[in-house]
Amino acid sequence: MKQKFFILVVLLLLAGLTTLAQPLKKSSLVVPKPAKELLTPQYIYIPKLKLFLSLQTAPIKNNEWILSEQKTAFFGEGSALPGEQGVSAIFAHAKNGLFAKLPLLEKNDTLIVISEKKLFQYKIEEKQLIEPDELSFLKPKGRNQLAVFTCFGKDDKKRILFLGGLIGELPNAKIKNSLYQI
């Protein structure tokens, strides 16, 4: 029963509804969104951790991504959009309900990023401990990759980083069917 409820909630989120009673607005049905906005990640799902989080875009200020204390994960502004060549960056605080269990991930585990237009599936290829100011992993390597990271260690002095390669895309029309297979 919980799984069916979870799938219903995911489908409602993908449809843009926040409550069951929210009426559809005609204006939201006729105003097309820019293509880039359609690919901006909205959710990350990590099957091994049974973790499903909404994503907010983290703006850049003074050459740093700005994180709020909200219970959400972030997509790094300026990093590649999923489906585009380059590295998409997603990160969150190492807190319960966020990325506290991220260190449990291993090579070959799956990461799923959902935008309004598509679902993107990545397979973890690398796991690294890096310094907080290390950003070389964001340099494009000629293919589509996902970097997922959070603070790690005593006093959060390190970052644990997972780099994944894109292994599949699914258009929005087929997402509903794929959620039953996740």
* Candidate ranges 114-118, 130-134, 158-162; pick with highest mean pLDDT: 158-162
What's the CATH code, domain 33-179?
Answer: 2.40.260.10
d(CA 172, CA 10): 13
Query: Percentage of the chain with pLDDT > 70?
Result: 71
Once rounded to an integer, what is the mean pLDDT over residues 129-150?
Answer: 91
CB 118 within 8 A of CB 171: yes
pLDDT of residue 16: 44
pLDDT of residue 59: 85
The residue type at 112: I
CB 42 within 8 A of CB 116: yes
- The predicted model scores a pTM of 0.75
